[in-house]
Chains A and B, each alone.
Chain A
């Protein structure tokens, strides 16, 4: 009896360590994935979101620029393309659809709403973005920039 318990505890113990390692690897992977979106070197070819807030005033991690090479989902979950850990941002907050020239934004049923130029989006409403639009999500304010249009 004791032997079986001992073996069980040992296996569970080892399992916990490896789950931890896998968890850390997964989080690092997600972190690097979100980093590739926030790289700024391609600004000028793609439309991008520019942070209006002073970065020092926000107590969570947010980049200066987010390039919209493809459609992205913004939210607090680690699985999103743009992860912002603002407590006022929902797990899956907003969806930005980038198809060639046109960029549109959709609220994904967030609690505190997505605002474009101060107007809150209705649920399911899809709004095309144009250069210079203000987007407010939680505490974070972005300026939408699409050059060459």
Chain B
């Protein structure tokens, strides 16, 4: 039994990380707050037991959940330190998300005919977009929330996964998805299929732009391009689509005041530091004040940054855990992406390959876009840092995606299918 306590096991280190962090939080505050210990204990228990289930029962790849657990621990600790109420909520979301993670793992394996529902994915995302347009509430300049009985939800998050599913079913047998029975001429059918593919993709992006959700739109577009580049043999189609970036960006820049502000703040946040550049400037101050090892959890003032528990959580991590902590988060995301791609390489089924690659690139790109925005590398777009930021919809979507990736990674259920060599 004692042999299990070794620094060699990553799971023990996750537990150690949580225990040290919450104990420090507990003792650094003078009237002792017993809730800190309760939250810490619950978080350690929930996260570690999820890892143990995956490892002991051999549900496919074990490194994905280990990496995600570390990200969750970092995020939850930071959110709890910023706002105790949000931290408790996030803990509940993590528990729900892990439940959904296991549920989707089993559902994916049970159903196993996911490549036949291409029309369902399109219809479902269309319904979600329309519902958002009709019932959507405007929160922070983006019309992308549905509020039902005090319970707010962001449907566009789910559309990301549906879009990846659609791409996977399209490229399983490239350019053969639509109109198979109606048009006999093969060349015409392939051409029409490509047009329809682009139509669906740009409708998705268009609806997101209508909701002012530019970050997710960019994410979807980049994922689409990447899948196109990897799995389509048609180079011209890829070039045509990537050429859309330039007019799209120019159109967006002149169309949306919102976007112009972001670009101005990116170019020079110091010009209008009290207003437009405030967020970025505060974020940069927070990162800079952290130093190598940070100020210590609970010792800094990351609450000066607006939206710090969602979009700007990376600057809070940099301030309180130091640049080493920030780099660790980036490294963890890189490892996650690398591991996902390694899983995809070992697969035989083409549908699963595309699905896996789509999910992995989506999570990887999302990390890049938001961290790049926070450190003023690229213009800021408001999306969440997967598994770290506060936010129910985002967390649950990420967990569903992870559950699907976990199911794909299980070699017991992999069999050849779709067009060979990809």
Contacts and interface: CB of A to CB of B under 8 A. Distances in A.
A21 interface: yes
Interface majority SS on A: helix, strand, loop or mixed? Answer: helix
A17 B8 contact: no
A68 B309 CA distance: 53
Interface string A2-21: 00001101111110111111
A19 B8 CA distance: 8
Contacts of B24: 9, 13
B10 A14 contact: no
A72 B57 CA distance: 27
Interface majority SS on B: helix, strand, loop or mixed? Answer: helix
Contacts of B7: 19, 23
B16 A27 contact: no
Contact of B58 (A20, A24, A60): A60
Nearest to A13: B20
Contact of B66 (A10, A14, A24): A24
B296 interface: yes
Contact of A6 (B74, B299, B322): B299
Nearest to A64: B411
Q: How large is the interface on B (under 10, 10 to 19, 20 to 34, 35 or more residues)?
A: 35 or more
Given A6-B299, A20-B17, A61-B58, A28 B332 contact: no
A17 B17 contact: yes
Contact of B293 (A7, A23, A24): A7
Nearest to B74: A17
Contact of A14 (B13, B57, B324, B411): B324
B13 A16 contact: yes
B20 A12 contact: yes
A32 to B, nearest CB: 8
Interface of B: 7-10, 13-14, 16-17, 20-21, 24, 57-58, 63, 66-67, 70, 74, 293-294, 296-297, 299, 321-322, 324-325, 328, 331-332, 335, 338-339, 342, 346, 411-412
7 contacts: A10-B293, A13-B20, A13-B21, A20-B10, A20-B17, A20-B70, A61-B411
Given A18-B324, A27-B63, 11 more contacts: A11-B293, A13-B297, A14-B325, A16-B20, A17-B324, A20-B10, A24-B63, A24-B66, A28-B339, A32-B342, A61-B58
Q: Which 9 A-B pairs rank lowest in CB-CB distance, beginning with the nearest?
A: A20-B13, A10-B293, A23-B10, A17-B328, A14-B324, A16-B17, A6-B296, A16-B16, A20-B10
